[in-house]
Amino acid sequence: MIKTDALIIGAGPTGLFTAHQLKIIGLDCEIVDNLDKAGGQCIELYPDKPIYDIPAIPECTGEELTKNLLDQLKPFNINFHLGERVDELKKNESNWEVKTNKGKTFLTPNVIIAGGVGSFEPRRFSPKECEQFEDKSIFYSIKNKKIFEGKTVSIFGGGDSALDWAVELSKNSKVNLIHRRDEFRGAPHTLNEIRKLEKEGKISIKTPCQLDSIEGEKDIKSISIKFDDGKIEKIKTDFVLSFFGLVMKLGPIAEWGLNMSKKTITVNSENFETNKKGIFAVGDICNYPGKLKLILSGFHEVALASVECFKRARPNEKYRFEFTTSSKTIQERLGKK
């Protein structure tokens, strides 16, 4: 069990700055995020898109913003638990016990939900029968490429992930690349490679078509794909891989008994606490009268929430408001003196 002053859920810009605000007032914290890297929507949805409304930064991309926020955290030792999703929350006397899907447990007086629009998960196939094959014959991400050697693999998708894996797996497997339209979006170099491999007969490209049905019992035997003109083709295949991008889902947080409106968590605008003491929601995931889903609003929200976290984590100490420009204590925490 990991004991900490505050657990931050979400490593997007708001979550990262929460860590900063907690650390400069002298609290410990840990960060959990379902993605395998920090940055949240900034890194997953728009790494290259410029943002123009971060105060004092005229223009920066999602990737740059993430890098700057991580740089700002450098003076501190912060544990990131990436690729993990929070599942359970339960009360343990005056603390909260939070469990992740990887079996970690945190014990903390403060849980700060900076979850954006939810955790990113791969978009799955729509036919119902696909569920039973998941992680056996159907994969949405690849952990061990060895299992595909010498087999037939059908890859769905038209973006970088689909194309890169088609190239990689064509070395040792028979590959079908299936996409809903004729155009692929990927690096020009990869597109050329794909066309070359097609000519060599190492990759078979099927467009424009989508998955119609799957046949098989324990393992997949074949799939049927439907072309835009209605024609259906049956393909023998051992594995199906799909790279349709990520979707955001609120997940288990929705079951925690927090007051919610649509897909957001209701908080007060004084310290951004939810209806449960010690559980806070900040950034895009919270709602209160006048809420704006801006990164800058998230920064403001976490500064105020951190003060309440201090009171809960250090009930016997008095919170003192200090400026980073003049406070010796803060400067020491920042490693400046």
Residues within the interface to another protein (CB under 8 A): 41, 45-46, 49, 117, 123, 126, 157-159, 179-181, 183, 185, 210, 228, 244-249, 263, 293
Compare residues 223 and 248 and give the one whose CB is closer to another protein. Answer: 248
Residue type, 4: T
Q: Which helix (H) or strand (E) element contains residue 71?
A: helix 62-72
Task: Report how far apart, in Å, the C-alpha atoms of 51 and of each of 16, 44, 64 are.
Answer: 17, 14, 10
The total of other beta-carbon atoms located within 10 Å of residue 171's CB is: 11
Nearer residue to another protein within complex by CB, 83 or 245:
245
Shortest distance, position 258 Cβ to another protein, whole Å: 19
Query: CA quadruple 32, 72, 4, 258: dihedral positive or negative?
Result: negative
DSSP string, 163-190: HHHHHHHTTTSEEEEE-SSS---S-HHH
**Distance in Å, CB of 261 to another protein, minimum:** 11
Rounded to 5°, angle at Cα 226 from 225 and 227: 120
Query: Considering beta carbons, is residue 88 or 228 the nearer one to another protein?
Result: 228
Instruction: Enter the DSSP assignment of 69.
Output: H
| 131 or 270: CB nearest another protein | 131
Least distance between another protein and beta carbon 213 (Å)? 14
Minimum distance from CB of 104 to another protein (Å)?
27
Q: Nearer to another protein by C-beta: 41 or 137?
A: 41
Min CB(263)–another protein separation in Å: 8
Q: Minimal distance in Å, beta carbon 318 to another protein? A: 40
Please state the closest distance from residue 245 (CB atom) to another protein, in A: 3
Calculate the CA dihedral of residues 66, 69, 74, 80 and round it to 10 degrees. -60
Q: Are 32 and 8 in contact (CB under 8 A)?
A: yes
DSSP string, 192-244: HHHHHHHHTTSEEEE-SEEEEEEEESSSEEEEEEEETTS-EEEEE-SEEEE--
Q: CB of 309 within 8 A of CB of 6?
A: yes
Instruction: Return the number of the residue (10 or 109) whose C-beta is nearest another protein.
Output: 10
Got the DSSP string for 10-68?
Answer: --SHHHHHHHHHHHHTT---EEEESSSSS-THHHHT-TTSEE--BTTBS-EEHHHHHHH
Cβ atoms 98, 4 nearer than 8 A = no
* Residue 83 vs 122, nearer CB to another protein: 122
Least distance in Å: CB of 202 to another protein? 23
Q: In whole angstroms, how close is the CB of 118 to another protein at the nearest point?
A: 8
- Please, are residues 284 and 293 in contact by the beta-carbon 8 Å criterion? yes
Q: Compare residues 201 and 230 and give the one whose CB is closer to another protein.
A: 230
Residue type, 71: D
- Nearest to another protein of 225, 304 (CB atom): 225
